[in-house]
Amino acid sequence: MMTRMFSNRMNIIYLLVAGFLALLPFVYDSRSLLILLSQVFIFAVLAMSYDILLGYTGIVSFGHAMFFGIGAYTVGVFMKRFEPETSYFLLAVLVTILLTAVVSYIVGLLTLRLKSHFYAMLTMAFAGLFLVLAEKWRSVTYGNDGFTFRVPEFLKDRTDFYLICLVSMVIVFILLKRFTNSPLGRVLQAIRENEQRTESLGYSVLQYKVIASVVSGVIAGIAGILYAVSLRFVNTSVFTMDITLDALLMTIIGGVGTLVGAIIGAGIIEFSHHWLTELAKVHWIFERWIIFFGIIYILAVMFFPMGIVGSLQKLKFRKKKKASVPVGSETVSQGDS
């Protein structure tokens, strides 16, 4: 009963926040804020996709950028080679979903048999292959220089694109929430907690891991599409390790295995990056903003070792435990009285 009440209260909070963000561009006209929040929404989608691997399955991947890059290059190439029409854009989205699903399935079958750091290193090698392919296939990717492209009319207005990014983030959050609360999601969490015991119960651990990899890869590809459209430019940087590390940091800072933590982590990382780079105009010391960025990350890990959301959930659990008053051999919770 208490869990259901807490869940309903959280759903109301989510709706209020989503409603506020949807109304924001109509009550506060700031182009720079809309661009920044759009980036937060995009990387929140990427971080949530990574949370499926790290937080719900216990898999650490260093090659997540390959799916992000596939999405970015697919929409870029389609918009460059064909007319920037809605039909071609939707076709690019479908091709991205297909490509990321196939690649994540094949990579998953080849790598998920390995354990811990061996898997992480092999996924990084696969991401490196895609990076080299993007650098060398200049007739399509234009190498390190990258290329610009036009977008359909409905994506040109910044407010419209902001709302599309917001809706995409909300839809991904709802779908992944249902996915993680489903029986399949429960099995993934069991694999995270004790893989050997889950396998002894008769579950095919590899198949479940591959499913998680495919879901995560497809969502990361969608984030890549939004990222490329936001810049109207794509180059090999979308395949670099920095993208994967950003997703990893966002997930850890926000709280692994929570999904909403990935959104909070994306907001903290993106706003910190923006503010620190802006401070470089005030004093030369902030030109080395990456140092202060590292300090923020260290402080976050020190004070919130389970991530922000995870630490708050732990604090709530402790308060609930203290609120229980033992009476004889039974324990009567004040919340139920």
Q: Is 283 left (phi over 0), alpha (psi -120 to 50) or beta?
A: beta
Residue 325 · residue 331 · CB < 8 Å: yes
The tokens for 69 are 């890059």
* For the chain, the helix, strand and coil percentages under 3-state DSSP, each to the nearest 5: 80, 5, 20
Q: In whole angstroms, what is the distance from residue 122 CA to residue 129 CA?
A: 11
Q: Report the distance separating Cα 221 and Cα 133, nearest Å.
A: 17
Q: What's residue 165's pLDDT?
A: 96
Residue 327 to residue 68: CA distance in whole angstroms: 56
b/e for 64-101, b at 16 or more Cβ within 10 A? bbbbbbbbbbbbbbbbbeeebeeebbeebbebbbebbb
More confident position, 252 or 4: 252
pLDDT at 337: 42
Cα 43 to Cα 37: distance, rounded to the nearest angstrom: 10
Question: 105 versus 9: which is more confidently predicted?
Answer: 105
Residue 191 has pLDDT above 80, yes or no: yes
Nearest Cα to Cα of residue 64 among 257, 243, 249:
243
User: Which residues on neighbouring strands pair with residue 171, listed in sequence order?
Assistant: none
Q: Work out the average pLDDT over 317-322.
A: 73
**Higher pLDDT residue, 270 or 282?**
270
More confident residue, 186 or 313: 186
The residue that leads in pLDDT, 252 or 284, is: 252
pLDDT tens digits, 95-150: 999 999 999 999 999 888 887 678 888 999 999 999 999 999 999 999 899 999 99
Averaged pLDDT for residues 43-62: 94
Structural tokens at position 96: 């991205």
pLDDT tens per residue, range 65-81: 999 999 999 999 999 99
Query: Angle, nearest 10°, between helix axes 241-254 and 289-303?
Result: 40
